[in-house]
Amino acid sequence: MEQWHSHLLRERVDQASLLIQGNRACALGALDAGVRFFAGYPISPSSEIMEAMAEELPRSGGVFLQMEDEIGSICSCIGAALTGELAMTATSGPGFSLMQEAIGYAIMVEAPLVIVNVMRVGPSTGRPTAPSQGDVMQARWGTHGDHPAIVLAASNVADMYRLTMAAVRFAQRFRTPVILLADQMVGQMRESFSPELVGRYRLTSGDFDFTPGYIHPDLAREVHRPHVLGSGSHPHVTGLFHDDTGFPTDNPEKSDDFLRELYNKVAHHRSELCLYDVKNEGKGRVCIVAYGSCA
């Protein structure tokens, strides 16, 4: 296997296994998925993701921005996404709360980006270095209004890698923000990471089309074709209900159609979006469902 991101891994990938932190595995997955824009603000326990992207993106020809706060971070990612870049940010509970209005805007303008929330005990400042799974309801319903949501939850270091890649793929495919939930334990613990596992989860170039404004054929009727900023056209982008030209509309039927399209492009693909592992199937009368470090 080729050597890649050696500065991030700090070791050669031809060893039997690597010891890597969950947050850095997340950054590695993002880079392998093609993320070339990251904007963030340091906050425990997610800061290692930002640090790793700050190290690696310049080497990959990408852009790293440390913003003044989490609002600026996600808004920068929306801007990058609207130019056709694969963009990502990472935060924890307090920062995730600040992002909620912008998440709704990203859903409305169909901007594909990934938001990683490494959860900690809250509310408020809470315990920045302790794990919690308390943001799951916020991830699904935090921003106001009717809206779809794609939320993934990592349970170990390998998940941080593979689910970050899946989040990028889903964001690109469905043209919507995708949220990856982790927690302090998953994000900051270190586990043995097999190069064979890395190879198995790496996506081929055929899984992505990096053409600005690309829409997967399966979603041609469910996703508005975007006017990509910087493409030579004169796009109009708004968080208001809008028609295919990007300009606002107050027509009730068009507004209803648009909202249903936002919802259906996710709801009609639930089987693809529902990722889970089953252990000891059929060996008991009780089924335990868990996510995060508890799993």
pLDDT tens track for 140-183: 999 999 888 999 999 999 999 999 999 999 999 999 999 999 99
Alpha helices in the chain (DSSP H): 6-9, 22-33, 47-56, 70-81, 93-98, 100-109, 136-141, 157-174, 184-188, 195-201, 252-267, 270-273
Q: Is a pLDDT exceeding 80 seen at residue 226?
A: no
Residue with tokens 């809008």: 242
36 in Cβ contact with 43 (< 8 Å): no
**Beta strands 37-40 and 18-21, pairing class:** unpaired
Structure tokens at 146: 């009717």
Report whether 146 contacts 82 (CB < 8 A): no
Q: What are phi and psi of 213, to 5 degrees?
A: 85, 5
**CATH 3.40.50.970 residue window(s) in the chain:** 6-207
Contacts 24+ apart (CB under 8 A), 236-241: 237/82, 237/109, 238/109, 239/104, 239/105, 239/108, 239/109, 240/108
Question: Looking at the predicted structure, is the pLDDT value of residue 268 above 70?
Answer: yes
CATH of domain 6-207: 3.40.50.970
Q: For residues 143 and 150, give the distance between their C-alpha atoms in angstroms, rounded to a whole number.
A: 13
Per-residue pLDDT band at 10 (split at 50, 70, 90): very low
Nearest Cα to Cα of residue 37 among 91, 94, 112, 110:
112
* Distances 150 to 108, 153, 180, 262, 265 between C-alpha atoms, Å: 14, 10, 9, 12, 11
pTM of the model: 0.87
Q: What is the pLDDT of residues 81-133, one digit of tens each?
A: 999 899 999 999 999 999 999 999 999 999 999 999 999 998 999 999 999 99
Q: How far apart are the first and last CA of the chain?
A: 31
Tens-digit pLDDT profile for residues 176-222: 999 999 999 999 999 987 766 666 655 544 455 545 455 555 555 55
Residue 256 has pLDDT above 50, yes or no: yes
CA distance 27 to 114: 12
Q: How far is Cα 157 from Cα 116, in angstroms, rounded to an integer?
A: 14
Contact 86, 210 (CB under 8 A): yes
Helices marked H in 82-156 = 93-98, 100-109, 136-141
Q: In what order do the strands lie in the sheet with 63-66?
A: 63-66, 37-40, 87-91, 113-119, 177-183, 150-153
